[in-house]
Amino acid sequence: MKTKKKFLRLLNLLLALALLSGCSLPFAASPKSTPTSLPAPEVRVTSAPAADGAALMQAYLTAWQNDDYPSMYAMLTPASQQAISADDFAARYRNTMNALTLKQLSYEILSQTTDPAAAQVNFRVTYTTNLFGELQREMSARLEKHASAWTLNWNESLVLPELSGGNSLTIDYQTPARGIILDRTGQPLVTQTDAYALGLVPTNIVAEQEDTLVGELSRLLNISPSQAIALYNDRRDVYWYLPIGEATAEAVNQRWNLLSSLGGLVLTPYTSRFYYQNGIAPQTVGYVSPIPKEEEDLYARAGYSRDARVGRAGLEQWAEQYLAGRAGGTLYLSKTDGTLTQQASTASQPAANLQLTLDKTLQIQAQEAIAGFRGSIVVIERDTGRVLAMVSSPQYDPNLFEPQNQNSADGIGELFNNPNQPLVNRATQGQYPLGSVFKVITYVAALESGTYTPDLKLQCGYDWTELPDKVRHDWTWEHFQQELAATGEGKTRPSGELTLSEGLMRSCNPWFWHIGLDLYRQGRVNAIADMARAFGLGQPTGLAQIPEGTGQILNPAGEVEAVNQAIGQGDVLVTPLQVADFMAAIGNGGTLYRPQLVEKIIAADGTETTLFKPEARGTLPIKPENLEALRKAMWEVVHNPRGTAVHRFRNINVPIYGKTGTAESGSGLPHAWFAGYTDAQIEGFPDIAIAVIVENEGEGSDYGAPIFKRVVEDYFFGSPRSLYWWEANIGITRTPTPLGFEGTLTAQPQP
């Protein structure tokens, strides 16, 4: 019994000791729990830091991939952070990656060794660069544990091994000349050349030389003498430099002896991107300028030198990849002792040239046709969609964006402070109510509904009262009131009974208000809006090279909205490009083309690498007989004695189809529209569609129609054949406002 009790006491003691020591009983252990498994707690202590160290290094390298330098800096040891500031740390990485022209960075962890307080991680970095191909470097990083967290003991070799000791990278760039922008015939619109900034000190002008000075400015700037005088005439008492414009060195040098002798004329040479005639289609072509400071890293990575000029707007920006070519250069390691060691090198690639669909001569003429007004002209080749002219007025001088140009500083300030916003491309980004030009869409919607015919008649009086909210007045009533107030006698009479086609010819508001309301009440609520969208409104035209507005076509929310929409008012917004595009479709039989601005990309060796071709994007949903009825009505607008534009198109031997529009703008005078197309069918002169808008000037037939006619004359005859009613001579204004109430409002109905 005693022996048994002693054994039990011994067993309890052993159990207690086993529990206190955390060990298994020797006799109870299986072979799998022998001392070979006892070091497990020690493995947990040593392996955990290794995993954390690798995780830190992976986080650091991932942050590097994302240029997240603040996160990288936060992972450094306290001693490393004392040795370099956060800004200098970021600059060291940023400058090196820029010098490498880094496109992408990737990494691979190769190995790691760890102990409780330190670790070493070996890794490989692959620098994929834009100029120098792919570079690889293997590096080793030391990690230290501080306050239970792993940190990186940083030095410059972790950016690139060669940078150890304060070395740096530099590039000697070889930048190719920027490509030329040509018109459709190969004439340059933009090139790289030597130029002169032209300026005047008006008080130094010698009276006896002024006629010669005006003549020379007129020649250099390709403007009329009266326009040249206007550049300084109202500032003759200015004692300081007055910017005038720019001219090529070739043009100046041809007459250098004479020009250099003219008192008051200042000629300052510079070399740069040169935009002929102070900007041909500037809002479309765009401009180049120095790289903005906030984008220097982006362009450096792409292989640009810090002093490069880059496309910042228009086609210059869109075609950057073609026009810039590719810079070449040599990458050097710049050592602290002043020596340079070549690291890599690449040859430059020449730029390509850009050939447009724009016609240089017509573009310049169209710019002159609308000069002095705010507005736009778009001219499209009717049967292809090629854009021959795209004018936004006022225009601006893209040469001003070159800092070497003496005229730049003052000119840029005036440009950005100009309330008329010349930098906006009104042709593609200007969004306007369309007014009565929209009636061609309402006309088609009515015919396609099946409840209207071209010969259906309606009384077109002064007033329209089908909606109870208010009395709406036709333009004839408005004009009658204006005449009455001005002369005491109103002469304009209502148009009387009109067929639907005559309603379009006379632009009778009651006819189209009636259609809008009637279709809405029939349950065809969105008939007009859907037709407008089918004409390409309310959406981009697909012109890919420059920004464009979408305009706005909403489904009417009620009868008032339907009535307003029917005459192109209310919520209707369009761009001039959209209007020219659908006018071309009416003229060519119903095909909506994607407007085309670029004809081809031409490599430096003359190879045409990319060709752009006309592209149909839709078909107008119009039955052939309805399209023919529309075209006849648009012919009557221009040729019938009662047409709203007939008096503006006398004595022009070109078949023109069009529509006047006077769009209430919400402030000031209405916008004046005229849009249409030609059907001359003359070999060598493809027919064209044109949209003209003149902002806040009044009647469409007073301003839109004359400018439309001027463009047609320029295109088919090479120069204007008639004066504007406001001109004394071509380009010389007679009066600033219309004489009386000419235009749509004065067209009298026949008895």
The full DSSP string for 691-747 is EEEETTS--IIIIIHHHHHHHHHHHHHSS--S--TTEEETTEES-SS-SSS-SGGGP
Q: What is the largest CA-CA distance in the chain?
A: 147
Residues in Cβ contact with 339 at an 8 Å cutoff, skipping those fewer than 6 apart = none
**Catalytic choice (80, 168, 408, 436):** 436
pLDDT score at 745: 27
- Does domain 435-746 match CATH 3.40.50.300? no
Architecture of the CATH domain 41-164: Roll (3.10)
* Rounded to 5°, angle at Cα 660 from 387 and 479: 155
Residue-wise burial string across 37-52, b where 16 or more C-beta atoms lie within 10 A, e elsewhere: eeeeeeeeeeeebbeb
Q: DSSP assignment of 327-347, as one string?
A: -EEEEEEE-TTS-EEEEEEE-
pLDDT at res. 116: 84
pTM greater than 0.85: yes
Q: Can you point out the beta strands (E) in 352-397?
A: 353-356, 375-381, 387-393
Contact 576, 612 (CB under 8 A): no
CATH fold for the domain made of 167-355? Penicillin-binding protein 2a (Domain 2) (3.90.1310)
What pLDDT score does 667 carry? Answer: 86
Which residues make up the CATH 3.90.1310.10 domain(s) of the chain?
167-355
- Reading the block at residue 372, the tokens are 């002095």
Determine the pLDDT at residue 750.
Answer: 26
How far the first Cα of the chain sits from its last, in Å, is 147
CA distance 7 to 109: 60
CATH 3.40.710.10 occupies which residues in the chain?
435-746
Query: Beta strands 181-182 and 353-356: pairing type?
Result: parallel
Give start-end residues of each CATH 3.10.450.100 domain in the chain: 41-164
Would you call 168 a catalytic residue per the annotation?
no
Give the pLDDT confidence score for residue 733 in this predicted structure. Answer: 74
Question: What is the structure's pLDDT at 734?
Answer: 62
What is the Cα–Cα distance from 420 to 570, expressed in whole angstroms? 24
- In Å, how far are 77, 225, 366, 566, 573 from 246, measured between CA atoms? 58, 16, 21, 48, 38
Q: Shortest CA distance to 711 belongs to which of 686, 692, 733? A: 692
219/208 Cα distance (integer angstroms)? 19
Mean pLDDT by 10 residues, the chain (751 residues): 43 38 32 32 33 86 97 97 97 97 97 90 97 96 91 97 95 96 98 96 95 96 90 90 95 96 97 96 98 96 96 97 96 94 95 98 97 97 98 97 95 93 97 98 98 97 94 91 87 93 98 98 98 98 95 98 98 98 98 97 93 95 98 98 96 96 92 98 97 97 98 97 92 52 28 24
- Integer Cα distance of 85 and 92 in angstroms: 10
Count of positions (residues) in the chain: 751
Pairing of strands 288-290, 265-275: unpaired
Torsion of CA 499, 504, 509, 512, to 10 degrees: 70
pLDDT of residue 39: 34
